[in-house]
Chain A
Amino acid sequence: MIRKGRGIAGCLYSLTVPNAPNPCTANVLMREDGSVNIQMGIVDIGQGAQTAMCMMAAEFFTIPVEKVRIYTADTHATPYDFGTLSSRLTFVGGRALLNACQQVMDVLKSAAAMQLHTLPERLYCEGGFLKDKYDPAKMLPIQAAAAISQFVCRKMPMGQGEYYPFNVPADENGCGEPSVSYYYHASVADVEVDDETGVVTVKEIWSAVDCGKAINPSAVVGQCDGGTLQGIGWALGEDMYPYCTHNDGPAPEFDPDFRPRNLSDYPLPTTMDAPEIHSMFVESHDGEGPYGAKAAGEICANTAAPAIVNAIHDAVGVWITELPATPDKVLRAIREKQEKEGA
């Protein structure tokens, strides 16, 4: 008989690498046509860090994103970055980038002030122009400021920004400030459990990440989608050293050679397995991150498994305390429960 259940789970994650220095450096240059080149040592492995950087620079200079190019991940041509890990790129990279952008802006303002016969500190950037706070008549397109700086002042509008995430390494009792910021995630899973076969099917799952300000909402949702399916895979079967199990036979036994050798053995979810995933985000206000951003990558894989296991309990009243919740394990637990209740 198919039984339905629902479960919930929450999680926190320390963004940036805890207890360790993990800085990032960014080079930013504005060309004479107002386009921007960014050089960073970061690696985009699909999460969309390059796009996020381009968007932040475009926001900063009030220019279209299409005018920003980024060059990454080359130890001889890009400045240092610690690496794509621990949900740190948007946060740490973004801070470094904005520090560099600020330096470029200072150069542009000096050039514009000279041209407009005003003072750099009176200028602000809006809609692609540098404008005088006190004299609305004085304004200059940002690319004109870049061209003047390059061709008249002979100073390239360049900047190099660094960011070193603050941390106080934890002492021997675990006391300290190991991480500069934290972000959160929660899931609700709806499952169906076949109590005759032990097969668990995730029907729907709701997944919400607290990413701070979402720089690129579609990328945040994408992180949530993918992380959630990885979490489901972890919960229901992905295992590099699975136990050998026998239907109605002896107890499961461990055989180190019983290892998946290919993707037919290894139950990576396919389009046929993926449930309806409802990904969402919430935006807490941290104040530390670039434009208020936190992170979205790592955490999304963490709450699906406990939410599913809690949903299994809701459905059939058994606790699965050893992952993954494979059919044989679930069925054995159901039978044990039935025997106990019968006895």
Chain B
Amino acid sequence: MKLTFFLNGREVTCDISPEMTLLTVLKELLHVNSVKRACLQGECGACTVIVDGDAMNSCLILAATVGGKHVETLESLGDSQHMHPLQKAFLDTGAFQCGFCTPGFIMSAKALLDKNPHPTEEEIRYGLSGNLCRCTGYVKPLEAVKAYVAAQSDIKVNEDAVQAVKAAAEQMGGAH
């Protein structure tokens, strides 16, 4: 059967059989590099992708169910020349060792942050609890997400300050 969906914003069509999982389509048919194959049971999170805004284990989704939907993989965030700030945060904190779980971690974090830009420590831990890592003890991946959130908040604060100054200036202008 034919399957058409959007992979990282681009429409793709492929010939699938009904029992194929999204992971099989992404790895065996489309050769998407960042998605990792490991447990095939939805337990390790290495194959996490974002489907219409939700982080999902691609090994558990039947490919046929993503027809017309938007599937995002790590490739959608940015390449080494144009990194997404979240990728930069993982890089700067050294939030990985072997790196096998990293794409899944970043995608889970992205889905979490898209919905909740200012998560608490507990919310970050919960949001990443479906991604297993054996190298880092989770210390630095959690640090990376927290650093990203803090940096975004700083920007937000700065924007707020700019807005406040502008508003004040306008008011003063109005008073004249």
A binds B: yes
Residues of A whose CB lies within 8 Å of any CB of B are: 45-48, 218-219, 222, 225-230, 262-264, 268-272, 274, 277, 279
State whether A226 touches B125 (Cβ < 8 A). Answer: no
Does the CB pair A46–B98 fall under 8 Å?
yes
Q: Are B137 and A277 in contact (CB under 8 A)?
A: yes
Interface residues in B136-150 by Cβ distance below 8 A to A read 136-142
> Would A230 and B139 be within 8 Å (CB), given that A219-B94, A272-B129 are in contact?
no
Minimum C-beta distance from B50 to chain A (A): 19
The DSSP consensus for interface residues of chain A is loop
Residues of B near any A CB (own CB < 8 A):
39, 41, 43-44, 94, 96-100, 124-126, 128-132, 134-142
Q: Please tell me if the beta carbons of A268 and B134 are within 8 angstroms of each other in the complex.
A: yes
What are 30 A-to-B residue pairs whose CB atoms are below 8 Å? A45-B98, A46-B135, A48-B97, A218-B94, A222-B94, A225-B137, A225-B139, A226-B97, A226-B134, A226-B135, A226-B137, A229-B138, A230-B134, A230-B137, A262-B39, A262-B43, A263-B39, A263-B44, A264-B43, A268-B132, A268-B134, A270-B129, A271-B125, A271-B126, A271-B128, A271-B141, A271-B142, A272-B126, A274-B138, A274-B139
B139: nearest chain-A partner, CB-CB:
A225
In the bound complex, residues from chain A placing their C-beta under 8 Å from that of B136 are: 222, 225-226
* Cβ-defined partner of A272 (8 Å) among B125, B137, B140: B125
Chain A residue with the shortest CB-CB distance to B130: A270
Residue numbers in B under 8 Å from A48 (CB-CB): 97
Bound-complex Cα distance A270 to B131 (A): 7
- Give complex CA distance A225, B94 in Å: 12
Contact check, A46 vs B129: say whether CB atoms are below 8 A apart: no
Please give, as numbers and ranges, the residues of chain B lying within 8 Å of A222 by CB-CB distance.
94, 97, 135-136, 139-140
Cα(A262)–Cα(B38), bound, Å = 11
